[in-house]
Structure 1
Amino acid sequence: MILIKRRLSVLALALLASLPFSQAAAAADQPTVIRIGSPELGTGDKGFSGANPLSVVRARGWLEEEFRKDNIQVEWTFFRGAGPAVNEALAAKQLDVVFLGDLASVIGRSRGLPTRLIAVTGRGSNSYLATAPGLTLNRFADLKGRKVAVLKGTAYQRPFDNLLAEAGLTEKDLRLVNMDWPTAKAAVLNKDVDATFGGADLHQLQAKGVGLPFNTKGKGPAFTIHAATLATDDFIRKYPEVTTRLVKQLVRASAWASDEANRQPLLALWGEASGQGPAVFTSEFEGEDLRLRHSPLIDEAALVAYKGVAADALKLGLIKTSVDVDAWVAPQFVAEAVRQLKLDKFWPELDANGKARR
């Protein structure tokens, strides 16, 4: 068996050596497949990463189009277990590129997952508390003693814990149930739990009597969510040019999603891609500046946001070791994509206070 493997290796090397230099270099510098992972936020059999530019890229088939001429396949996997499941797949070396909310990516980094943050893929997302039909809550503190579903290890856990702290509570004051999002939605609808905490897709349940009494809109950075695209160190080291091309399609989608003229087509695209309809996302983005929500830049504001998540995660006991955000990010890919697409002045670069630099 060892002899056979050696012969195959020799044959493979001989074949590579027989190619013209440019072809041999291309074969060595390109993967056969790019394995992309994301939390599952769609309905039914719809694979959907959420209301972000990555969903635009997938719906439009831009990565497949970009890499078709090189015979590079693009493989999408959506995880019902969300961030924790994506991190497990990363640890098992089953993924090359992932989309994750801020807390899940920070948790993975703190546990030694060899990733780099290569593009911001969503800023300032809000969260919502959904309550079972017939249940009235006047204050967030009224959750005390109640059965509440939260998917731990995801970006929603941090704003939820901060809302509890603001109300003078901790997770220990509730009967907290760790439950994935589809199961949690069914549970709150059936009154198996008193409430669940999650994203804009909870608006779907209002027509069935579920209430949405509290959300994080306008509450500031400690209560909103950033998301990013990460790539493994191994993938970036082996395929820097492919990484730039991938990020270029993300930046292209970010520009399209940032254009106010595309607001209705964007909502319609997300509604179709998710199987949830555009109305689910209308409230989330009402009054929001699309250009600020979809800037891919790894600017100072993004760094501050992730540092805040890392600090809160440590304080709340969600991670045990601190995360050096400055050493984690790899802004060169977005910078090059922005240059190639001539979008240098399209997004304002934000300072630590979220204000545009002059």
Structure 2
Amino acid sequence: MPTPILASRRGRLGTLALLALALASGAQADVLRIGVASAGGGDPVTFGGSSLSIARNQQVLEKAFEGSGTEVQWFFFKGAGPAVNEALSNQQIDFAYEGDLPSVVGRANGLDTRLLAAIGTRSNVYVAVPKGSDIHSLKDLQGRKVAIFRGTNGHLLAIKVLATQGLTERDLKVINLDTGSTQAALAARGVDAGFGGYELFKLRDQSLVDIIYDNSENDPVYTRQTALVVRSSYEQAHPEQVQKVVNAVVDAARWASDSANQPAVFAEWAKSGAPVASWEADYQGQSLKVRQSPLLDGFLQARYQGVADQAYEQKLIRRPVTVQGWFEPRYLNTALQAKGLQGFWTGYGPDGKQAEAAATASAPAPFKAVEVNHEPG
């Protein structure tokens, strides 16, 4: 098996080659390019856990642009958020589905985007150890080899989770592994533990690992957020295309939020290679409607600002970042109003537990933080 560095490099080069071809074809036709911060799985390649993956599987976007002369293209990045940011910076994609930390890092480095809608929130992080390990708690991770996918939205959350037990990354022997490599390393006992998401349940059900941390209280503070972002230059040049994309995302989120559709939703996500049982485990005690809400509510704003502040404290970014002026709710507001969905989802306050007075797409009062400097860095 190639080393993680080589695997990541090969995946990145392959994706860039595909993007180069897309750019060449884009000279001949109108192309809308969407980047996904995941290697994906299945045939055709897809992903799970969000309304955008439903849109991918059911070709909601392709149908929305049918007859318009616009071709929708999807690109999957094994290098996750950092690789997506590179593609956004090089104007190789127009929209991106990525987690909170990579988005914040991109903004801190001068990447000019607008955050349009939540696309899967409150995703838990889990810690797995090889079956039969003598590691039974987070405390036992001290001095052990632990896989963490650095630079992703799971990275900062891993730091936050470790801090609950008075641990930091320096207390561990951290190995930077992507999602697939983490699973392989756990199965082969190449690491003592690994942070990850729903994909770890597949290994658990194969009796390869034990889950020693799972945020059993479902505390929203210890969850990951993902969203849909667009390059600002694209948004300014093609507002009608952006509105169509957001409309399609809202349609997919409405369908995915219906509890009656839960078996069908999980079946759609299972096309990515993660079995239905993994999604059932990941959603235990949680609501599709809450996690699939597209609202740019107080909770989402607070979590992105919290991630930005923590990233600065941890020296993962060199400049403070504020969410003020970054979130762009007008497309989501238009879609909700047109579809009569203004009150369908509940907007939550900063703690993620108390409902806001009114569910709207707009974020409430802006946070007081230093505005990001959009100089390259």
TM class by shorter chain equals: 0.7 to 0.9
2:89 corresponds to 1:91: yes
With normalisation by structure 2, the TM-score equals 0.83
Query: What do residues 138-195 of structure 1 show as CA deviations (whole Å, max 9, x unaligned)?
Result: 2202111111111100010112101221211211111111111111111111011111
2:106 corresponds to 1:118: no
From 320, 327, 330, give the equivalent of 1:329: 327
Partner of 1:266: 265
Distance 2:274 2:122 in 1: 21
Distance 2:262 2:30 in 1: 36
> Structure 2 stretches of 5 or more lacking a match?
1-28, 358-377
- Letter paired with 2:193: A
From 52, 60, 69, give the equivalent of 2:67: 69
- Letter paired with 1:264: P
* SS class of match (1:309): helix
Partner of 2:193: 195
Equivalent pairs, count:
327
Higher helix share: 1
Is this contact kept in 2: 1:126–1:284, CA < 8 A? Answer: yes
Distance 1:144 1:48 in 2: 36
2:178 corresponds to 1:184: no
Partner of 1:100: 98
Distance 2:213 2:40 in 1: 23
Q: Specify the structure having the higher radius of gyration (Cα).
A: 1
2:281 corresponds to 1:280: no
Give runs of aligned pairs for residues 28-177 of structure 1, distance below 5 A: 32-40=30-38, 42-43=40-41, 47-177=45-175
Partner of 1:249: 248
Is this contact kept in 2: 1:254–1:296, CA < 8 A? Answer: yes
Please report how far the alpha carbon of residue 46 of structure 1 lies from its aligned counterpart in structure 2 after TM superposition. Answer: 5.3
* SS class of match (2:110): coil
* SS class of match (1:326): coil
Q: 1:49 to 1:271 in 2, by over 3 A?
A: closer
Please report how far the alpha carbon of residue 353 of structure 1 lies from its aligned counterpart in structure 2 after TM superposition. Answer: 3.6
* SS class of match (1:129): strand
Quick check: 207-216 or 319-328, which moved more?
207-216
Is this contact kept in 2: 1:247–1:334, CA < 8 A? Answer: yes
Partner of 2:294: 296
Partner of 1:25: none
Q: 1:314 to 1:219 in 2, by over 3 A?
A: farther
Is this contact kept in 1: 2:349–2:355, CA < 8 A? Answer: yes
- Letter paired with 1:271: A
Distance 1:130 1:283 in 2: 14
Give runs of aligned pairs for residues 309-324 of structure 1, distance below 5 A: 309-324=307-322
Quick check: 250-259 or 161-170, which moved more?
161-170
Distance 2:313 2:220 in 1: 16
Is this contact kept in 1: 2:122–2:291, CA < 8 A? Answer: yes
Please report how far the alpha carbon of residue 41 of structure 1 lies from its aligned counterpart in structure 2 after TM superposition. Answer: 5.1
Distance 2:77 2:38 in 1: 5
Partner of 1:345: 343
Query: What do residues 208-229 of structure 1 show as CA deviations (whole Å, max 9, x unaligned)?
Result: 4211111224252431111100
Partner of 1:12: none
Q: 1:349 to 1:48 in 2, by over 3 A?
A: same
Distance 1:34 1:281 in 2: 30
Distance 2:166 2:332 in 1: 41
Distance 1:53 1:332 in 2: 19
C-alpha RMSD of the superposition:
1.5
Please report how far the alpha carbon of residue 71 of structure 1 lies from its aligned counterpart in structure 2 after TM superposition. Answer: 1.3
With normalisation by structure 1, the TM-score equals 0.88
- Percent of aligned pairs sharing the same letter: 37
Partner of 1:220: 219
Distance 1:278 1:304 in 2: 31
Distance 1:352 1:164 in 2: 22
* SS class of match (2:166): coil
Is this contact kept in 1: 2:117–2:294, CA < 8 A? Answer: yes
Is this contact kept in 2: 1:46–1:275, CA < 8 A? Answer: no
- Letter paired with 1:203: F
- Letter paired with 2:233: D
